[in-house]
């Protein structure tokens, strides 16, 4: 187990290095940070001096080595746009993104799994057809359109929910949380729905397909014949056996939710990392973009690790082989 | 529904009653860009200077009609016996931390703002010396007569010497943040109560402001909202009271709803096409080689005659633009009344001119445009490309985001390009200095003259009219200069773009042509 974890951690360092390298080699094509940092009246000499000071004239390899070297020492640099420390900026935006992602994930699981089970057990029911239809529509419409539609319906027409931002937040030792105020929860609903709808559909369809397959298997027939109660049969015997592929996909998707909450965050002006990344692209804020991408890579690695650990919990066979 | 309306009306009534009884008028507004910094000398950009003008003040300030009026200086006059200006400072002014304002603060702010670390230092390039005469008198000596100097420093904001030095903010932050990046201590009408960069900034009135407040705001909250649809929804849902700008296509929707108003005006930004005057060949042509037809003024004039501004106005801008004849719009000082006609839309004349220049069948070239910088910029270029095509000019359009646009233009990677220019000093001198004078990095001239248009007489006229104190003589020189650049079609000025703000009906705001938003002119009714 320890060996497994250590191996994964070493792998993750290489993944993050690779991401940093790819990101860094793309930054040169994003634009010129200096022309974003200075006003129109700034002279060419002053721009050139700034470019020199920032080390933008150094060769690519040198710039990359400096970036990774500073990162390894824990120095994440300063934003070109706001001159704030990048680590501080990302840390202050991370709670918003994580809370949004977690709530979106919970919505997708709490609705997706029961819906998947239901639609698998009643494949020809009217409700099943309706659910499948609605989620198909939901998944076909681009995220930002869903977001705008929700905003206009619940925010503008009905006036029930706020249209942007996080509402009331409470600072818990540096972590700004929305979970402790009514306002915070109200502000969370629409963006979490927007972000979760794709996940929800995916989870539901996956659970449905797996369930239908499992229900055909011999041991279920045998259990049915033995007279195992239906509730126990569906959830203890059938659903548990669908969980390995479901957890894999959901885990991978959660990394995606965090990484691609950019669109949702921009539509709802949700002050998370994704919004910060978008602003940074607009201003060619290379230090922030670089650190953001590395952090996201780290999330992916971490989520994959957790997924692997969950396998062991869910599938007893893996536990046995580990012990032996 | 009826019931719902009545209920909300009653509720609204109760709220406004409550508001009157406690005199609390909170005001929420949004714009697309968060000011990058709270340091008034660190970044010379509209979002920063506009925002900070609510907090800091200069020696002079601009009124609602852009005119220059006294602020921290009560009066000023030209120096006797040498070039420059003497400013008499207002007495009894205090900074928000209670420190008294004196000439030492002006001196310090000058040194800070003209330092290499400051992005606003170009304002002080004519200044050779600054002398403190007494606590409330200070002289700015300039290298030549400079009638424009007082108005050119309207955004030069004054910091308190003691506050800045005590907090290690004696210079603007360049590579890392400092105290002044996040904290403020101005003399102005508002102060920052809290700031979360990129998320929210809360301003409260400065109780010790020297001037009489004309606003009734007790708390103002600014939220940057980058997404236009989100901003519109926030306004229509009532979450915010005012937003600028809103996209042209949303104007009808705002106007159709009760309780909201759209405020329109002309920005001073002139949108134009520029040429590669200095390029000997075209980069993106399929049919002409070894020659740049745009070096021939007849070809440039043909391109100007090909553009139908009235149609662009009707189709793309819903009648909200003003055609432009020169690099500043009417109303800006130095605007040449004598030359306010732009080349008429005349495709036949354009074809004749092309034939005279030796291109009866036209030619192809590259047209470079932004797609996120000016209002409808990409659509404008598509329209222009089809208008060019109608006279035989085959424009190969390429559009892209502004973040690498200037780089490409500086690298001469264009045949024709789109540019918008707002005269920072609100005088014709500004675009002449940046767009028409021959490129000269050492003299800091022509730095945005990407195609390097060059005319010896224009270069000669610029310093002459910069130093001319007699308004009539000055205007005479500018008229001559405008005539030259129109004859040579140095640029094709197209139009000035509109400013479109949207606001709740119960809010009064003042729109200024420089697109600055001043909280001191906000009234919540």
**Each residue's pLDDT tens digit, A56-111:** 888 888 888 888 888 888 888 889 888 889 999 999 999 999 999 999 999 988 99
CB-side exposure of B478: number of CA atoms within 13 Å? 29
Q: Which two tokens stand for residue B376?
A: 């409808």
CA–CA dist B502, A165 (Å, integer): 20
CA–CA dist A114, B91 (Å, integer): 74
Chain A residues lying within 8 Å of B175, measured CB to CB? 53-54, 78, 83
Strands B491-504 and B322-323: antiparallel
Q: Kindly tell me the sign of the dihedral angle through the C-alpha atoms of B10, B12, B15, B19.
A: negative
Interface test with chain A among B198, B201, B202, B256, by most A beta carbons within 10 Å: B198
Residues with Cβ within 8 Å of A285's Cβ and at least 6 positions away in sequence, in order, are: A33, A36, A79, A80, A81, A279
pLDDT of residue B23: 56
Are residues B226 and A84, on separate chains, in Cβ contact within 8 Å? no
Please determine, for residue A1, whether its predicted confidence score (pLDDT) is greater than 70: no
Residue ranges of A 101-140 with Cβ closer than 8 A to chain B: none
Q: Which two tokens stand for residue B392?
A: 């035989």
Alpha-carbon gap: A216 to the closest alpha carbon of chain B (Å): 48
Are residues A30 and B229, on separate chains, in Cβ contact within 8 Å? no
Strands B137-142 and B73-78: unpaired
Strands B491-504 and A170-172: unpaired
Is A141 contained in some domain?
A: yes
Kindly indicate the confidence band of residue A219, based on its pLDDT and cuts at 50, 70 and 90. Answer: confident
> φ and ψ at B269, to 5 degrees?
-80, 120
- Structural domain tally of chain A? 1
Whether B173 and B182 have beta carbons less than 8 Å apart is answered as no
Whether B90 and B102 have beta carbons less than 8 Å apart is answered as no
pLDDT of residue A122: 85
Residues with Cβ within 8 Å of A23's Cβ and at least 6 positions away in sequence, in order, are: A289, A290, A293, A294
Q: Which residues of chain B have pLDDT under 50?
A: 1-22
Whether A39 and B160 have beta carbons less than 8 Å apart is answered as no
Chain A residues lying within 8 Å of B120, measured CB to CB? 39, 41
CA–CA dist B436, B434 (Å, integer): 6
Q: Kindly tell me the sign of the dihedral angle through the C-alpha atoms of A282, A284, A285, A291.
A: positive
Whether B315 and B308 have beta carbons less than 8 Å apart is answered as no
> Domain span at residue A143?
86-319
Q: Which two tokens stand for residue A254?
A: 């959660």
Question: Would you mind telling me the total number of residues written for chain B in this entry?
Answer: 525
Strands B491-504 and B260-275: antiparallel
- Other residues' Cβ atoms within 10 Å of the Cβ of residue B442: 8
Residues with Cβ within 8 Å of B492's Cβ and at least 6 positions away in sequence, in order, are: B272, B273, B300, B303, B304, B307, B343
Is A52 contained in some domain?
A: no
Is A103 contained in some domain?
A: yes
What is the per-residue pLDDT across A116-175, written as a single tens digit (0 to 9) for each? 888 888 888 888 889 888 888 878 888 889 899 999 999 888 989 998 888 888 888 878
CA–CA dist B224, B200 (Å, integer): 7
The maximal CA–CA distance of chain B, rounded, in angstroms, is: 77
Residue ranges of B 375-404 with Cβ closer than 8 A to chain A: 401, 403-404
Strands A170-172 and B219-224: unpaired
Alpha helix ranges (H) inside B174-263: 179-182, 228-236, 251-255
Closest CA to A258 of A289, A294, A296, A288: A296
Is A275 contained in some domain?
A: yes
Q: Does B196 touch chain A (CB under 8 A)?
A: yes
Question: Would you mind telling me the total number of residues written for chain A in this entry?
Answer: 324
Whether B304 and B492 have beta carbons less than 8 Å apart is answered as yes
Residue A280 maps to which CATH number? 1.10.3720.10
* Torsion angle of the four alpha carbons B53, B58, B60, B61, in this order, in degrees rounded to the nearest 10: 0
Q: Does A317 touch chain B (CB under 8 A)?
A: no
CA–CA dist A95, B82 (Å, integer): 60
Whether B303 and B388 have beta carbons less than 8 Å apart is answered as yes
Q: Among B37, B229, B406, whose Cβ lies nearest the Cβ of A32?
A: B406
Is A63 contained in some domain?
A: no
Residue ranges of B 407-436 with Cβ closer than 8 A to chain A: 407, 424, 434
Strands B127-134 and B73-78: unpaired
Residues with Cβ within 8 Å of A313's Cβ and at least 6 positions away in sequence, in order, are: none
Are residues A41 and B196, on separate chains, in Cβ contact within 8 Å? no
Q: Does B12 touch chain A (CB under 8 A)?
A: no
Whether B180 and B157 have beta carbons less than 8 Å apart is answered as no
Chain B residues lying within 8 Å of A49, measured CB to CB? 116
Q: Among B175, B224, B227, whose Cβ lies nearest the Cβ of A78?
A: B175
**Secondary element (H or E) of residue B73:** strand B73-78
Q: Among B177, B197, B424, whose Cβ lies nearest the Cβ of A41?
A: B424
What is the per-residue pLDDT across A236-260, written as a single tens digit (0 to 9) for each? 777 877 887 888 888 878 888 887 7
Angstrom CA distances, B314 to A31, B310, B344, stand at 34, 6, 16
Question: Beta-strand (E) ranges in B206-292?
Answer: 219-224, 242-244, 260-275
* Torsion angle of the four alpha carbons B237, B239, B240, B241, in this order, in degrees rounded to the nearest 10: 70
Angle CA(A26)–CA(B373)–CA(B316) in degrees, nearest 5? 130
Q: Kindly tell me the sign of the dihedral angle through the C-alpha atoms of B15, B16, B20, B24.
A: positive
pLDDT of residue A321: 53
Q: Which two tokens stand for residue B44?
A: 């010379």
Closest CA to B43 of B257, B221, B197: B197
CA–CA dist B183, B37 (Å, integer): 9
> φ and ψ at B131, to 5 degrees?
-130, 130
Residues with Cβ within 8 Å of A217's Cβ and at least 6 positions away in sequence, in order, are: none
Interface test with chain A among B37, B126, B237, B410, by most A beta carbons within 10 Å: B237
* ipTM confidence: 0.84
Angstrom CA distances, B371 to A312, B308, B317, B386, B389, stand at 52, 21, 16, 17, 21
Whether B24 and B155 have beta carbons less than 8 Å apart is answered as no
Interface test with chain B among A164, A270, A277, by most B beta carbons within 10 Å: A164
Are residues A43 and B447, on separate chains, in Cβ contact within 8 Å? yes
CA–CA dist B189, B483 (Å, integer): 44
pLDDT of residue A15: 85
Chain A residues lying within 8 Å of B239, measured CB to CB? 155, 162-164
Q: Does B11 touch chain A (CB under 8 A)?
A: no
CA–CA dist B415, B367 (Å, integer): 6
Q: Which two tokens stand for residue B361?
A: 């069948």
Is A61 contained in some domain?
A: no
Strands B84-89 and B137-142: antiparallel
Entry pTM: 0.87
Interface test with chain B among A29, A30, A44, by most B beta carbons within 10 Å: A44
Whether B31 and B244 have beta carbons less than 8 Å apart is answered as yes
Q: Kindly tell me the sign of the dihedral angle through the C-alpha atoms of B91, B46, A81, B229.
A: positive
Q: Among B123, B177, B401, whose Cβ lies nearest the Cβ of A84?
A: B177
- Could you give the 3-state DSSP secondary structure of residue B323? strand
């Amino acid at each position: 187990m320890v060996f497994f974890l250590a191996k994964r951690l070493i792998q993750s360092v290489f993944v993050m290095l690779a991401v940093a390298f790819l990101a860094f080699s793309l930054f040169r094509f994003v634009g010129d940070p200096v022309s974003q940092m200075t006003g129109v009246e700034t002279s060419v000499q002053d721009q050139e001096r700034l470019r020199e000071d920032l080390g933008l004239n150094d060769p690519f390899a040198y710039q990359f080595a400096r970036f990774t070297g500073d990162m390894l020492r824990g120095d994440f640099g300063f934003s070109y746009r706001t001159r704030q420390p990048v680590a501080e900026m990302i840390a202050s935006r991370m709670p918003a993104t994580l809370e949004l992602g977690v709530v979106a994930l919970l919505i997708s699981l709490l609705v997706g799994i029961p819906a998947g089970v239901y639609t698998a057990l009643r494949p020809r029911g009217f409700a099943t057809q309706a659910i499948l239809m609605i989620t198909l529509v939901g998944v076909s419409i681009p995220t930002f359109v869903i977001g705008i539609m929700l905003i206009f319906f619940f925010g503008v027409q009905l006036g029930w929910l706020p249209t942007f931002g996080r509402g009331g937040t409470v600072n818990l030792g540096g972590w700004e949380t929305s979970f402790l105020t009514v306002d915070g929860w109200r502000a969370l609903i629409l963006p979490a729905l927007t972000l979760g709808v794709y996940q929800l559909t995916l989870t539901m369809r996956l659970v449905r397909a797996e369930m239908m397959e499992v229900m055909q298997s011999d041991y279920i027939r045998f259990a049915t014949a033995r007279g195992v109660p239906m509730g126990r049969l569906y959830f203890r015997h059938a659903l548990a056996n669908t969980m390995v592929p479901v957890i894999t996909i959901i885990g991978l998707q959660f990394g995606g939710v965090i990484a691609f909450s950019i669109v949702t965050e921009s539509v709802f002006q949700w002050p998370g990392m994704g919004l910060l990344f978008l602003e940074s692209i607009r201003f060619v804020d290379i230090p922030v973009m670089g650190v953001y991408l590395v952090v996201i890579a780290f999330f992916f690695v971490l989520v994959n690790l957790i997924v692997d650990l969950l396998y062991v919990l869910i599938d007893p066979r893996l536990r046995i082989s580990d012990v032996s | 529904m009826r019931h719902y309306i009545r209920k909300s009306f009653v509720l609204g009534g109760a709220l406004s009653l409550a508001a009157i009884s406690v005199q609390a008028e909170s005001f929420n507004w949004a714009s697309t860009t968060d000011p990058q910094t709270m340091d008034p000398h660190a970044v010379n950009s509209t979002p920063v200077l506009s925002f900070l003008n609510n907090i800091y003040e200069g020696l002079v300030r601009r009124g609602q009609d852009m005119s220059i009026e006294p602020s921290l200086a009560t009066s000023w006059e030209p120096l006797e016996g040498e070039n420059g200006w003497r400013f008499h400072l207002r007495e009894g002014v205090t900074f928000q931390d209670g420190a008294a304002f004196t000439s030492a603060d002006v001196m310090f702010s000058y040194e800070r703002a003209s330092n290499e670390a400051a992005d606003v230092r170009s304002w002080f390039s004519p200044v050779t010396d600054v002398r403190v005469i007494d606590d409330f008198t200070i002289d700015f000596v300039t290298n030549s007569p400079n009638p424009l100097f007082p108005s050119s420093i309207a955004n030069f904001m004054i910091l308190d010497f003691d506050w800045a030095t005590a907090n290690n903010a004696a210079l603007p932050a360049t590579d890392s943040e400092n105290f002044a990046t996040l904290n403020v201590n101005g003399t102005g009408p508002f102060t920052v109560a809290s700031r979360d960069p990129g998320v929210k900034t809360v301003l409260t009135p400065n109780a010790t402001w020297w001037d009489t407040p004309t606003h009734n705001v007790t708390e103002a909250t600014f939220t940057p909202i980058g997404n236009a649809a989100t901003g519109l929804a926030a306004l229509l849902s009532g979450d915010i009271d005012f937003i600028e700008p809103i996209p042209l296509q949303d104007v009808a929707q705002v106007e159709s709803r009760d309780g909201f108003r759209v405020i329109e005006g002309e920005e001073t930004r002139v949108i134009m096409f520029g040429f590669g005057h200095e390029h000997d060949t075209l980069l993106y042509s399929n049919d002409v080689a070894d020659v740049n037809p745009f070096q021939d003024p007849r070809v440039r004039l043909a391109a100007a005659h090909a553009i139908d501004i009235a149609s662009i106005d009707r189709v793309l801008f819903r009648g909200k633009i003003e055609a432009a004849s020169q690099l500043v719009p009417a109303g800006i000082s130095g605007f040449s009344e004598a030359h306010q006609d732009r080349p008429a839309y005349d495709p036949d004349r354009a074809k004749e001119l092309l034939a005279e220049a030796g291109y009866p069948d036209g030619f192809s070239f590259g047209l470079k445009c932004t797609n996120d910088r000016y209002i409808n910029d990409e659509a404008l270029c598509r329209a222009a490309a089809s208008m060019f095509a109608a006279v035989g000019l085959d424009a190969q359009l390429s559009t892209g985001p502004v973040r690498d646009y200037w780089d490409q233009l500086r690298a001469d990677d264009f045949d024709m390009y789109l540019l918008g220019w707002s005269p920072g000093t609100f005088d014709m001198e500004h675009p002449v200095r940046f767009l028409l004078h021959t490129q000269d990095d050492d003299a800091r001239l022509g730095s945005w003259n990407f195609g390097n248009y060059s005319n010896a007489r224009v270069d000669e006229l610029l310093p002459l009219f910069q130093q001319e104190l007699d308004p009539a003589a000055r205007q005479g020189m500018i008229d001559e200069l405008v005539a030259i650049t129109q004859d040579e079609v140095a640029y094709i000025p197209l139009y000035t773009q509109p400013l479109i703000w949207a606001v709740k009906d119960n809010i009064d705001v003042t729109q200024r042509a420089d697109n600055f938003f001043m909280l001191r002119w906000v009234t919540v009714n």
